[in-house]
């Protein structure tokens, strides 16, 4: 029976879970809040951010494709040469739902499917195709699977390229933008979502500063909040918003001071907050609830004030002229970003679930998994269906985004090869790897010509050679992909950083602290990529300032750091992963 009390209890349980969700996903929330903030900075006219938004949208779409590919290759060890069929089917289905003229009369009824629903139907079709691939192929191992999938993909490609009245032939189909993307309420929905994420970000920072009562917490938070305010100052439309956000930051410092004065460093010391029931009672309502909410409120008001003009301009743009391209780019960015977030969370939960463990068990040793009672056939089919649905979603998002699709760009074998490359470059069996890999490749594809032409003075035709050289360098120096290899190398540095002590306080970076560098890195990359000459000096200024401070700190504390590093590396001996440690042990063995 559902009654009011159970509903209230469930809601309460959800609300009580929010702080733990916030503090368990710090990096993700920080970077996502930043990404959701970006389109708010686009003004109504031409804006330099818009080109970058277009590029990031493309990267995210191919990131989705690569994630679905990695679900097969990295998790289930299924090398699928026909992956492009899933993508292309999604793209063409989306094309047919957007315009009734593409299909002959009895079939053009699918054009009646409204836009966001057609995304879901496309996912179902992709899942169905994945199911067919799975039915015919999953009983076979390795190569046979890859090649029957390739055969299916080639069938579909040839079907579409032979029937040029269906597929548009070489010129392709030119698609209209879905009507929903051009409406303001749809945009406002995403703006609200963006503010939810930003509130989550500010709340996460407040929670962080509440827990991290050492001075390093304050240093790290100010490292983030100062550039954040600077960014608002540059991309916002007025001064008052950033000032409000800065006031919120000052409030955080106040909050931190209050918390620090109350915190007890010794856990064994008796505290008035503790009772025998084991529950920790809040010290008082003011510092636990009121102050954080005031801080979040001030920050959100600041954000609304600084971007209010832009949002109003976008809405007026919709009222004036419905067919403008400027309008659709931020909306599509939001749409793709939201899809990417949902898929990311889904894949993360899937891999951590018992089913995900089963998939890995089947991939590692099929006979053993079957002997333990798992149905490997069904597991593979389910993975193929899920991955097919995600790939079709990527295709369905790609079609209205790129607006012209033809068989060779959405169904050619090259797409499979590039999805494979994105996955491998980013690192297989990692969550962020495929997205990063597609970012690296798509960005280089569009900018390598300029680099080679103006940077190196070589003819611009050589860009594909440059891409090949880049792949070879990546594979020689990072054989497990960007995320995989840096993760392995990073572990040794991380161990050293966690053991570092400066003067009185531990300069220990904990696992929870890396969100700062994630967010700073995202900001830095964004500022460097913005093709506006006005942004670059500011970026260089902010990061130069931070770098100088860091350098001065290093200079002042160099002896301490060096001695800590030395003593900590002595303790690191047992860790076999460290690169330096391996060489040292080899030298020691020679003696």
Q: Residue 421, interface with other proteins (CB under 8 A)?
A: yes
Tokens 């303790």 identify what position? 571
Q: How far is CA 123 from CA 86, 89, 146, 149, 303, in A?
A: 9, 10, 22, 18, 36
Q: Residue 155, interface with other proteins (CB under 8 A)?
A: yes
In 3-state terms the chain splits into helix, strand, coil percentages (rounded to 5) of: 80, 0, 20
Q: Residue 464, interface with other proteins (CB under 8 A)?
A: yes
Q: Residue 141, interface with other proteins (CB under 8 A)?
A: yes
Give whichever of 374 and 463 is closer to other proteins, judged by the CB atom: 463
**Rounded Cα distance, 204 and 117, in Å:** 33
Write down the least CB distance from residue 73 to other proteins, Å: 8
Give whichever of 98 and 153 is closer to other proteins, judged by the CB atom: 153
Write down the least CB distance from residue 154 to other proteins, Å: 5
Q: Residue 361, interface with other proteins (CB under 8 A)?
A: no
Write down the least CB distance from residue 146 to other proteins, Å: 8
Q: Residue 579, interface with other proteins (CB under 8 A)?
A: no
Residues 472-491 that bind other proteins (CB under 8 A): 472, 474-476, 479-480
Q: Residue 465, interface with other proteins (CB under 8 A)?
A: yes
Write down the least CB distance from residue 423 to other proteins, Å: 9
Give whichever of 413 and 565 is closer to other proteins, judged by the CB atom: 413
Residues 62-81 that bind other proteins (CB under 8 A): 73, 81
* Segment lying near other proteins (by CB under 8 A), choices 135-143, 213-221, 331-339, 506-514: 135-143
Exposed, middle or buried: residue 81 (CB in 10 Å: 0-12, 13-18, 19+)? buried
**Rounded Cα distance, 421 and 438, in Å:** 8
Nearest alpha carbon to residue 195 among 323, 37, 394: 37
Give the contacts of 395 (CB within 8 A, at least 6 positions apart): 65, 86, 87, 88, 89, 90, 91, 92, 93, 94, 122, 126, 410
Write down the least CB distance from residue 417 to other proteins, Å: 6
Q: Residue 170, interface with other proteins (CB under 8 A)?
A: no
Residue in 154, 219, 258, 361 binding other proteins, rule: CB under 8 A = 154
Residue in 180, 469, 528, 556 binding other proteins, rule: CB under 8 A = 469
Residue 40 contacts residue 191 (beta carbons within 8 Å): yes
Beta bridge pairs of residue 173? 405
**Rounded Cα distance, 96 and 89, in Å:** 11
Q: Residue 505, interface with other proteins (CB under 8 A)?
A: no
Q: Residue 136, interface with other proteins (CB under 8 A)?
A: yes
Query: Is the four-CA dihedral 492, 494, 499, 504 of positive or negative sign?
Result: positive
Q: Residue 329, interface with other proteins (CB under 8 A)?
A: no
Residue in 6, 20, 24, 158 binding other proteins, rule: CB under 8 A = 158
Number of neighbours of residue 440 by Cβ within 10 angstroms: 18
Give whichever of 465 and 556 is closer to other proteins, judged by the CB atom: 465
Cα-Cα-Cα-Cα dihedral of 43, 45, 48, 54, to 10°?
A: 90
* Segment lying near other proteins (by CB under 8 A), choices 12-20, 23-31, 312-320, 409-417: 409-417
Q: Residue 326, interface with other proteins (CB under 8 A)?
A: no
Write down the least CB distance from residue 404 to other proteins, Å: 21
- How many residues at the interface with other proteins, by CB under 8 A? 42
Cα-Cα-Cα-Cα dihedral of 491, 494, 500, 502, to 10°?
A: 160
**Within its chain, how far is the Cα of 402 from the centroid?**
21
Residue 100 contacts residue 357 (beta carbons within 8 Å): no
Encode 193-220: b = buried (16+ Cβ within 10 Å), e = exposed: ebbebbbbbbbbbbbbbbebbeebbbeb
Positions in the binding site for other proteins (CB under 8 A): 73, 81, 136, 139-141, 143-144, 147-148, 150-152, 154-155, 158, 162, 413-414, 417, 420-421, 424-425, 428, 459, 461-465, 467-472, 474-476, 479-480
């Amino acid at each position: 029976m559902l009654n009011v009390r159970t509903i209230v209890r469930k809601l309460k349980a959800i609300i009580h879970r929010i702080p733990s969700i916030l503090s368990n996903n710090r990096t993700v929330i920080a970077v996502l809040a930043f990404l959701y903030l970006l389109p708010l900075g686009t003004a109504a006219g031409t804006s330099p951010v818009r080109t970058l938004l277009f590029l990031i949208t493309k990267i995210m779409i191919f990131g989705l494709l690569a994630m679905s590919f990695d679900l097969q290759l990295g998790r289930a060890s299924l090398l699928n040469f026909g992956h492009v069929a899933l993508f292309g089917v999604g793209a063409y289905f989306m094309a047919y739902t957007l315009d009734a003229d593409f299909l002959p009369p009895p079939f053009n009824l699918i054009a009646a499917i409204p836009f966001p629903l057609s995304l879901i139907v496309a996912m179902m079709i992709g899942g169905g195709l994945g199911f067919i691939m799975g039915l015919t192929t999953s009983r076979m191992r390795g190569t046979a699977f890859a090649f029957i999938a390739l055969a299916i993909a080639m069938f579909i490609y040839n079907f579409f390229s032979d029937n040029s009245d269906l597929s548009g032939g070489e010129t392709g189909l030119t698609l209209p933008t879905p009507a929903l993307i051009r409406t303001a309420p749809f945009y406002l929905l995403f703006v609200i979502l963006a503010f939810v994420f930003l509130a989550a970000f500010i709340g996460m920072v407040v929670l962080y500063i509440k827990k991290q009562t050492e001075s390093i917490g304050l240093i790290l938070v100010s490292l983030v909040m100062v550039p954040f305010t600077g960014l608002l100052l540059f991309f916002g439309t007025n001064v008052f918003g950033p000032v409000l956000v800065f006031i919120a930051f000052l409030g955080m410092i106040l909050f931190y001071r209050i918390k620090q004065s109350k915190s007890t460093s010794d856990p064994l010391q008796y505290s008035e907050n503790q009772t025998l029931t084991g529950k920790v009672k809040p010290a008082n309502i003011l510092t636990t609830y009121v102050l954080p909410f005031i801080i979040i409120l001030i920050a959100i008001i600041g954000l609304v004030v600084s971007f209010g003009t832009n949002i109003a301009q976008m809405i007026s743009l919709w009222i004036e002229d419905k067919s403008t391209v400027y309008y659709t780019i931020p909306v599509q960015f939001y749409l793709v970003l939201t899809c990417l977030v949902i898929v990311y969370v889904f894949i993360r939960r899937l891999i951590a679930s018992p089913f995900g463990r089963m998939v890995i068990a089947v991939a590692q040793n099929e006979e053993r998994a079957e002997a333990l009672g798992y149905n490997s056939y069904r597991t593979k089919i389910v993975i193929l269906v899920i991955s097919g649905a995600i790939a079709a979603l990527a295709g369905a998002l790609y079609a209205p985004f790129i607006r012209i699709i033809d068989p060779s760009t959405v169904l050619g074998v090259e797409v499979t090869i590039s999805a494979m490359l994105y996955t491998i470059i980013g690192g297989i069996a990692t969550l962020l790897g495929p997205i990063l890999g597609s970012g690296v490749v798509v960005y280089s594809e569009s900018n390598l010509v300029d680099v080679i032409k103006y940077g190196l003075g070589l003819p611009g035709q050589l860009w594909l050679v440059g891409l090949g050289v880049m792949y070879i360098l990546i594979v020689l120096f990072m054989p497990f992909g960007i995320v995989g290899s840096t993760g392995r190398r990073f572990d040794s540095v991380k161990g050293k950083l966690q053991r570092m002590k400066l003067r009185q306080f531990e300069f220990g970076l904990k696992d929870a602290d890396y969100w700062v560098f994630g967010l700073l890195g995202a900001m830095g990359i964004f500022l460097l990529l913005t093709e506006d000459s006005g942004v670059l000096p500011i970026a260089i200024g902010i990061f130069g300032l931070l770098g100088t401070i860091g350098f001065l700190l290093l200079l002042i504390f160099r002896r301490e750091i060096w001695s800590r590093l030395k003593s900590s590396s002595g303790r690191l001996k047992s860790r076999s992963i460290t690169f330096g440690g391996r060489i040292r042990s080899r030298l020691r063995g020679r003696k």
